[in-house]
Structure 1
Amino acid sequence: MPSQNALTDRTLVISGGSRGIGLAIATAAAKYGANVVLLAKTGEPHPRLQGTVHTAVEGIQAAGGKAVAVVGDVRKEEDARRAVAVAVENFGGVDICVNNASAIALESTENLPAKKYDLMQEINSRGTFLLTQAALPHLRESENAHILTIAPPVNMNPYWLGAHPAYTLSKYGMSLLTLGFAAEFADAGIAANCLWPQTYIATAAVANMADGDSLLSSSRSPEIMADAAVEIFSQPSTKTTGNCFIDADVLIESGITDLSVYGGGDNPQLDLFLD
Structure 2
Amino acid sequence: MTETLEGKVLFITGASRGIGEAIALRAARDGAKIAVVAKTTEVHPTLPGTIYTAVEKIQKAGGEAIAIPCDIRDEIQVKKAIEKTVESFGGIDIVINNASAIFLKDIEETPVSRFDLMNQINSRGTWMVCKYALPYLKKSRNPHILTLAPPLNIKQRFFSPNTGYTISKYGMAMTVVGLSEEFKKYNIAVNALWPFTTILTSALKIVLTQRKDLISRNTAIMADAAYVILTKNSSECTGKFFIDETVLRQHGVTDFEKYSIIPGTKESEFSLSRFNDQEQFDELLKAKSKSKI
Match for residue 228 of structure 1? 225
Q: How does 1:68-83 map to 2 (within 5 A)?
A: 68-83=66-81
Q: How does 1:108-187 map to 2 (within 5 A)?
A: 108-187=106-185
Output the CA distance in 1 between the equivalents of 2:31 and 2:273.
Answer: 30
Output the CA distance in 1 between the equivalents of 2:29 and 2:107.
Answer: 43
Kindly state the Cα deviation for residue 220 of structure 1 after the two structures are TM-superposed: 0.5
Match for residue 257 of structure 2? 260
Output the CA distance in 2 between the equivalents of 1:222 and 1:258.
Answer: 16
Kindly state the Cα deviation for residue 161 of structure 1 after the two structures are TM-superposed: 2.1
Secondary structure at 1:69 match in 2: strand
Contact residue 190 and residue 237 of structure 1 kept, 8 A: yes
Q: How does 1:179-258 map to 2 (within 5 A)?
A: 179-209=177-207, 210-215=209-214, 218-258=215-255
The Cα offsets for residues 107-158 of structure 1, whole Å up to 9 and x where unpaired, read as 0011101111111001101110111111100000011000000000011111
In the alignment, structure 2 segments of 5+ residues that lack a partner are: 278-293
The Cα offsets for residues 223-248 of structure 1, whole Å up to 9 and x where unpaired, read as 10000001000000011000010000
Contact residue 31 and residue 62 of structure 2 kept, 8 A: no
Kindly state the Cα deviation for residue 259 of structure 1 after the two structures are TM-superposed: 1.1
Kindly state the Cα deviation for residue 15 of structure 1 after the two structures are TM-superposed: 0.4
Contact residue 16 and residue 36 of structure 2 kept, 8 A: yes
Kindly state the Cα deviation for residue 212 of structure 1 after the two structures are TM-superposed: 4.4
Kindly state the Cα deviation for residue 38 of structure 1 after the two structures are TM-superposed: 0.9
Contact residue 228 and residue 247 of structure 1 kept, 8 A: yes
TM-score of the superposed pair, with normalisation by structure 1? 0.96
Kindly state the Cα deviation for residue 213 of structure 1 after the two structures are TM-superposed: 4.1
Residues 47-56 or 79-88, more deviating: 79-88
Output the CA distance in 2 between the equivalents of 1:229 and 1:51.
Answer: 21
CA separation of 1:186 and 1:46: change in aligned 2, threshold 3 A: same
Secondary structure at 2:192 match in 1: strand
Match for residue 33 of structure 1? 31
The Cα offsets for residues 163-189 of structure 1, whole Å up to 9 and x where unpaired, read as 311000000000001111100010110
Contact residue 22 and residue 100 of structure 1 kept, 8 A: yes
Which AA in structure 2 matches 1:270?
Answer: L
Kindly state the Cα deviation for residue 211 of structure 1 after the two structures are TM-superposed: 2.8
Which AA in structure 2 matches 1:38?
Answer: V
Output the CA distance in 1 between the equivalents of 2:7 and 2:122.
Answer: 29
Output the CA distance in 1 between the equivalents of 2:213 and 2:50.
Answer: 26
Kindly state the Cα deviation for residue 76 of structure 1 after the two structures are TM-superposed: 0.8
Secondary structure at 1:168 match in 2: helix
In the alignment, structure 1 segments of 5+ residues that lack a partner are: none
Output the CA distance in 1 between the equivalents of 2:79 and 2:245.
Answer: 33
Match for residue 6 of structure 1? 4
CA separation of 1:97 and 1:212: change in aligned 2, threshold 3 A: same
TM-score of the superposed pair, with normalisation by structure 2? 0.90
Kindly state the Cα deviation for residue 193 of structure 1 after the two structures are TM-superposed: 0.2
Segments of 4+ moved more than 3 angstroms: none
Output the CA distance in 2 between the equivalents of 1:85 and 1:70.
Answer: 11
Which AA in structure 2 matches 1:261?
Answer: K
Q: How many residues align?
A: 271
Contact residue 6 and residue 33 of structure 1 kept, 8 A: no
